[in-house]
Amino acid sequence: MMAIPVKAIPIKAIEVKWFAAYREAAGVAAETVHTDAATAAELFAEMQRKHPALALFRAALLAINNEMADWSRSLQDGDEVLFFPPVAGG
Amino acid sequence: MNKSGISSFWLADSAIDSTAFREQLADESCGACVIFEGWVRNHNEGRAVLRLAYEAHAPMALKEGDIILQEAIERFAISKAAAVHRQGELLLTEAAVVVGVASSHRDAAFQACRYIIDEIKHRLPIWKKEYYADGTAEWVNCQQCAASHSDSEMHA
């Protein structure tokens, strides 16, 4: 009898960086996360569970590998994901 | 920062030298120079402000800042454009941002300078934290975020 190949859910290593109000709520500026989150939106929700202080925060802006990105963007192993609060320069 | 000398954006950790900033714009073909300085003021939305802190994500801020200056050069009849934004702690009356434009005639310089400061405010990954006289502190534009506490400072 042939063994049925089991397809494992791929776990990705993602470097997460937090800025400004998010950084203070997360309590860290950067962390490496091993996740099966498919999109940046899923990752943000997962991180809100990890850091309860972030649960009060709305997702605002996102960059992946130093380029602005959509929340529906699928994550790749090794991506650097930057979560930005609303900007306030000037 | 920019090899052409036509435009440059950078981030400064200490007070901006306004004389040096102006000198880099000097151009014999230009009859107008408009410089805008955004200062740290002592009040915002009815609250007394004591000081500010700016946080920037430098790799993206530098790149986007140069793109904004290039856009201004393409859209308006100007010769040179430069801008600098502070990061870290700032005191009242300090310049948080300086934008400068040089052009043959003044209309283009005024328009381009206005364009650049507006785009800097909207597009650069820079965040401002205000420290108030009542001892509290808040990240500006983050009203929907959790209430911030002056004692939750993180020095990462």
According to DSSP, the β-strands at A12-18 and A80-84 are: parallel
Helices (H), chain B: 18-23, 58-75, 106-123
Token duo for residue B66: 């140069």
Q: How confident is the model at residue B151, as a pLDDT?
A: 39
Check: CB of residue B96 under 8 Å from CB of residue B13: no
Token duo for residue A12: 């990705």
- Average pLDDT for consecutive 10-residue bins of chain B (156 residues)? 61 96 96 98 96 98 97 97 98 98 98 98 97 96 60 39
Closest to B55 (Cβ–Cβ): which among A19, A30, A86? A19
Q: pTM score, two decimals?
A: 0.88
With beta carbons under 8 A apart, name residues in chain B contacting A89.
Answer: 54, 56, 61, 85, 97, 120-121, 124, 126-128
Check: CB of residue B108 under 8 Å from CB of residue B79: no
Contact between chains at B148 and A24 (C-beta distance less than 8 A): yes
What dotted CATH number matches B7-152?
3.90.1170.40
- Residue A45 pLDDT level (bands cut at 50, 70, 90): very high
pLDDT at A5 over 80: no
Q: How confident is the model at residue A30, as a pLDDT?
A: 98
Terminal C-alpha separation, chain B: 27
Contact between chains at A88 and B38 (C-beta distance less than 8 A): no
Q: How confident is the model at residue B155, as a pLDDT?
A: 37
Distance in angstroms (rounded) separating the CA atoms of residues B76 and A69: 29
Distance in angstroms (rounded) separating the CA atoms of residues B156 and B44: 27
Contact between chains at A89 and B117 (C-beta distance less than 8 A): no
Closest to B139 (Cβ–Cβ): which among A21, A63, A82? A21
Q: How confident is the model at residue A71, as a pLDDT?
A: 95
Q: What region does A42 belong to: left with phi over 0, alpha with psi -120 to 50, or beta? A: alpha
- Residues A19-43: tens digit of each pLDDT: 999 999 999 999 999 999 999 999 9
Q: Where along chain A do its domains lie? A: 20-84
With beta carbons under 8 A apart, name residues in chain A contacting B120.
Answer: 89-90
What dotted CATH number matches A20-84?
3.10.20.30
Check: CB of residue A72 under 8 Å from CB of residue A39: yes
Closest to B141 (Cβ–Cβ): which among A24, A63, A86? A86
Check: CB of residue B73 under 8 Å from CB of residue B15: no
Q: Where along chain B do its domains lie? A: 7-152
With beta carbons under 8 A apart, name residues in chain A contacting B117.
Answer: 90
Distance in angstroms (rounded) separating the CA atoms of residues B139 and B52: 10
Alpha carbon of A9: minimum distance to chain B alpha carbons (Å): 33
* Burial environment of residue B121 by CB neighbours within 10 A (0 to 12, 13 to 18, 19 or more): middle
Distance in angstroms (rounded) separating the CA atoms of residues B3 and B6: 8
- Residues A62-90: tens digit of each pLDDT: 999 999 999 999 999 999 999 999 999 99
CA dihedral for B62, B63, B68, B73, sign (positive or negative): positive
Check: CB of residue B74 under 8 Å from CB of residue B134: no
Quick one: which H or E segment has residue B35? strand B32-39
Token duo for residue B12: 């400064």
Closest to A85 (Cβ–Cβ): which among B56, B97, B145? B145
Contact between chains at B121 and A90 (C-beta distance less than 8 A): yes
